[in-house]
Amino acid sequence: QLLETSNLLQMAGRAGRRGMDVAGTCVLVATPFEGEDVAAKILVDPIKPISSQFRPSYALAVNLIARGKGRLDVAKQLVSKSFA
């Protein structure tokens, strides 16, 4: 199965070292099996919609509140960092 555009963008978005580099480099190499046209198509294909698999639970809420030592603003801040 060929790499989907959304997967390529996810991997390319991780190029570089977080907090240290302002830019990164991603190289897409076409193999003899796919060819240049197929490799280029991955770059320009529309991105398929995604749906979150995140399912909050009571345990998650309790753990976040505990980590924030009972302060809801700290728990909210921890959650917001996950969706930055």
CA–CA separation, 7 and 4 (whole Å): 5
**CA distance linking residue 56 with residue 75, whole number of Å:** 13
Residue 83 pLDDT: 67
Q: Residue 43 is encoded by which pair of tokens?
A: 């770059």
> Taking the CA atoms of the chain, what radius of gyration do you get in angstroms?
19
pLDDT confidence of residue 84: 55
Asked if 42 contacts 3 with a C-beta cutoff of 8 angstroms, the reply is yes
Token couple for 75: 């728990």
Per-residue pLDDT of the chain (84 residues; tens, 9 = 90+): 788 888 888 888 776 777 787 877 888 777 777 778 888 888 889 988 888 788 888 898 888 888 888 888 888 887 887 765
Mean pLDDT of the chain: 82
Neighbours of 75 (CB within 10 A): 20
Q: Whole-prediction pTM value?
A: 0.50
